[in-house]
Amino acid sequence: MTELLTSAQMRAIELAEIDSGVVTGLQLMERAGRGAVAAALARWPELATGAHRAMILCGPGNNGGDGFVIARRLKDRGWDIDVFLFGDAEKLPPDAKINHDLWTEQGTVTPLDHDAMRACGKPDLFVDAVFGTGLTRPLPDALADALDAEVMRKWRGSHKIRRLAIDCPSGLNLDTGMLPQPDKDEDEDALFVPKMNCADLTVAFHSLKLGHKIGMGPAVCGTVEVVDIGLTGEDATERSMIGLPPDRERVRLIDPIFVQKPLPTRFWPGSCVAKEVGGHKYDFGHVMVLSGGPGRGGAGRMAARTALRAGAGLVTLLCPPDALQENACHLNAVMLRPCADADAFRQIADDRVTALCLGPGMGVGPGTRAFVRAALAHSGGDRAWRETAIVLDADALISFEENPATLFADTHARTVLTPHEGEFARLFPDLSQAERGDLSKVDAVRIAADRAGCIVLLKGVDTVIAQPGGGASVHSATGPRSVPWLATAGAGDVLAGLIAGLAAMPTSPDLFCVVEAAVWLHCEAALQFGPGLIAEDLPDMLPKVFSTLAT
């Protein structure tokens, strides 16, 4: 796990280090500029020898300061450099001004202008050092025009221009992963495509920021390299502990990395799925999955099969009596019991049940609401040292659309809600994608988790998990973890079953950590299967995925 910082957290770390006298802002800027050059030359070794041409756009803050350092370092290597400044040199912050003045001893600075840029020879390296963590509002028009991806594409033509972004492509908000857009006139076309240049390589300093991993960030940043600028930060190691949920106010990336370094997968997520040696099937937990009526059982069956593959000792599918025959035709290792209503459920779900999964294919209405209430009241009895884990997905969520508060009155710390954006909007309309505005997806899910009093997992290419109190995690199915073929009907049912199966094991870690591991494994199964995947393939990929966790 590695931390994803907000801009404010990054600034606080820098300031604390500078205030402690360990380092100066100027030294940090020099390291940032040098680190960016080193990262670019490592990415494009053909630039590491000989003289090339760079165009460097600098902004009015410290991001621009990094740009002036880069200009100086590349000039020292014999390169031709064109530097453009957006803003007034006299108003640059002190460290950036010093680097501006150092640069002007070697070269010129031209006010940033679209035509002046195009009049220059095409560069081999284009450096965007206009705005980084300090972006506060949409890009001004003149700058947006200069950075417009479409214009850039035409300009690049057949000449290979490598695009390097310092901290981020300018225009990206590093807290939200969104591209702030100017206010539109009412009569303007609703479909607004922001003008924005993308990078091939983005260098981030000290740590990844949230915006690199959520929203539009992954699409516009290209590869993100973290450059160490010698900040120790606070106790980053402690905060990245695996097996413990993240601290409040902290966000971490769900990936086998530990403070920027790769971590063997046997440590994580291997430790979350390992079974104790020996043991009876009941020692590995009993999952009950509630399913829908005749012709609607597929979703529940997939969730049940996944829970069993995940390692639960037993899995029982409960279905309405009239769906018994259909389910019996499909199930073998998964056990099957008829269950007409919530009263019957209370009789059947004994105290050896350690996890319950409700929602997929159940149908929307009072019957499902009654099942959900009964499930949330289920107790593991005197022998259980913790409450039953309850996973609520799909229809179990939508059934409470009219009055979500009645659901939140019963949810508890061992409950996980797993909505996609549509289901999330029904339970938390004010936090929906359409209403979120400047609120990041992470903060929206944090508020939702506080309101619901339980873990909330909001699915998507960027999946966000939060628990009451603020600790949150992000899984990003982008870059080398891109699995567009996971956007297939039933993939969510499988995830619900996977969480239930892992959480059922009495030796499983904290529920938040189980949910993190499930999201990673779900993506990993899709990744290892590859294109052509259908949801039913996912549970049967788990043994292969587990076998790769031994290393």
Ligand X SMILES: Nc1ncnc2c1ncn2[C@@H]1O[C@H](COP(=O)(O)OP(=O)(O)O)[C@@H](O)[C@H]1O
Q: Which residues contact 265 (CB under 8 A, 6 or more apart)?
A: 256, 548, 549, 551
Q: Mapping DSSP to helix (H, G, I), strand (E, B) and coil, where does residue 328 land?
A: helix
By beta-carbon proximity to ligand X, the closer residue of 177 and 492 is 492
User: Over the range 363-373, which residues count as b (16 or more CB within 10 Å of their CB) and which as e?
Assistant: bbeebbbebbe
Rounded to the nearest whole angstrom, what is the least distance from the CB of residue 473 to ligand NAX in the complex?
A: 24
Q: How far is residue 183's CA from residue 172's CA, in Å, rounded to a whole number?
A: 16
By beta-carbon proximity to ligand X, the closer residue of 404 and 460 is 460
Q: Which does 128 bind (CB under 5 to 8 A by kind): ligand X, K ion, ligand NAX, none?
A: K ion
Structure tokens at 189: 């076309």
Under rule CB under 6 A, how many of the chain's residues touch ligand X? 18
206 annotated as a binding-site residue = no
65 annotated as a binding-site residue = yes
Q: Which does 62 bind (CB under 5 to 8 A by kind): ligand X, ligand NAX, K ion, none?
A: ligand NAX
Rounded to the nearest whole angstrom, what is the least distance from the CB of residue 389 to ligand NAX in the complex?
A: 41
Q: Which one among 65, 459, 508, 533 touches ligand X, defined by CB under 6 A?
A: 459
Q: How far is residue 386's CA from residue 413's CA, in Å, rounded to a whole number?
A: 10
By beta-carbon proximity to ligand NAX, the closer residue of 28 and 513 is 28
Q: Which one among 487, 534, 540, 544 touches ligand X, defined by CB under 6 A?
A: 487
Q: Which does 328 bind (CB under 5 to 8 A by kind): ligand X, ligand NAX, K ion, none?
A: none
The answer to whether residues 288 and 358 touch, using CB atoms and an 8 Å cutoff, is: no
**H or E stretch at 272:** helix 270-273
Q: How far is residue 415's CA from residue 40's CA, in Å, rounded to a whole number?
A: 46
Q: Which does 205 bind (CB under 5 to 8 A by kind): K ion, ligand X, ligand NAX, none?
A: ligand NAX
Backbone angles phi, psi at 549, to 5 degrees: -85, 0
> Which residues are at the interface with ligand NAX (CB under 6 A)?
14, 25, 28-29, 32, 59-66, 93, 131-140, 166-167, 205, 229
461 annotated as a binding-site residue = yes
Rounded to the nearest whole angstrom, what is the least distance from the CB of residue 95 to ligand NAX in the complex?
A: 6
138 annotated as a binding-site residue = yes
> Is residue 491 within the footprint of ligand X (CB under 6 A)?
yes
By beta-carbon proximity to ligand X, the closer residue of 144 and 495 is 495
Rounded to the nearest whole angstrom, what is the least distance from the CB of residue 350 to ligand X in the complex?
A: 29
Torsion of CA 519, 524, 527, 530, to 10 degrees: -100
By beta-carbon proximity to ligand X, the closer residue of 375 and 461 is 461
Q: How far is residue 256's CA from residue 262's CA, in Å, rounded to a whole number?
A: 6
The answer to whether residues 456 and 419 touch, using CB atoms and an 8 Å cutoff, is: yes
Interactions with ligand X, residue window 386-445 (CB under 6 A):
394, 420
> Is residue 486 within the footprint of ligand X (CB under 6 A)?
yes
The answer to whether residues 92 and 100 touch, using CB atoms and an 8 Å cutoff, is: yes
By beta-carbon proximity to ligand X, the closer residue of 25 and 501 is 501
382 annotated as a binding-site residue = no
Q: How far is residue 8's CA from residue 4's CA, in Å, rounded to a whole number?
A: 12
Q: Which one among 50, 111, 484, 543 touches ligand X, defined by CB under 6 A?
A: 484
> Is residue 495 within the footprint of ligand X (CB under 6 A)?
yes
The answer to whether residues 287 and 354 touch, using CB atoms and an 8 Å cutoff, is: yes
User: Closest CB to ligand X belongs to which residue?
Assistant: 492
Rounded to the nearest whole angstrom, what is the least distance from the CB of residue 26 to ligand X in the complex?
A: 42
306 annotated as a binding-site residue = no
Q: Mapping DSSP to helix (H, G, I), strand (E, B) and coil, where does residue 77 land?
A: coil
Q: What angle do CA 62, 68, 69 make, to 5 degrees?
A: 95
By beta-carbon proximity to ligand X, the closer residue of 47 and 465 is 465
137 annotated as a binding-site residue = yes
| CA 266 from centroid of its chain's CA atoms | 22
134 annotated as a binding-site residue = yes
Task: Name the segment binding ligand X (CB under 6 A); options: 150-158, 330-338, 381-389, 453-461.
Answer: 453-461
Structure tokens at 120: 């220059």
Torsion of CA 62, 65, 66, 69, to 10 degrees: -160
Give the DSSP per-residue string, 404-419. Answer: HHHHHTT--TTEEE--
Backbone angles phi, psi at 334, to 5 degrees: -75, 130
> Is residue 524 within the footprint of ligand X (CB under 6 A)?
no
> Is residue 490 within the footprint of ligand X (CB under 6 A)?
yes
Q: How far is residue 152's CA from residue 55's CA, in Å, rounded to a whole number?
A: 13
**Amino acid, single-letter form, for residue 216:** M
Rounded to the nearest whole angstrom, what is the least distance from the CB of residue 406 to ligand X in the complex?
A: 23
Rounded to the nearest whole angstrom, what is the least distance from the CB of residue 462 to ligand X in the complex?
A: 9
Alpha-carbon distance values, 87 to 47, 113, 130, 136, 181 (Å):
29, 11, 10, 15, 20
Rounded to the nearest whole angstrom, what is the least distance from the CB of residue 534 to ligand X in the complex?
A: 11
**Residues engaged in binding ligand X (CB under 6 A):** 394, 420, 459-461, 463, 477, 483-484, 486-487, 489-493, 495, 522
Give the residue numbers of the binding site for (6S)-NADPHX: 62-66, 132-138, 167, 299, 361, 420, 493
Give the residue numbers of the binding site: 62-66, 128, 132-138, 167, 170, 299, 361, 420, 459-463, 492-493
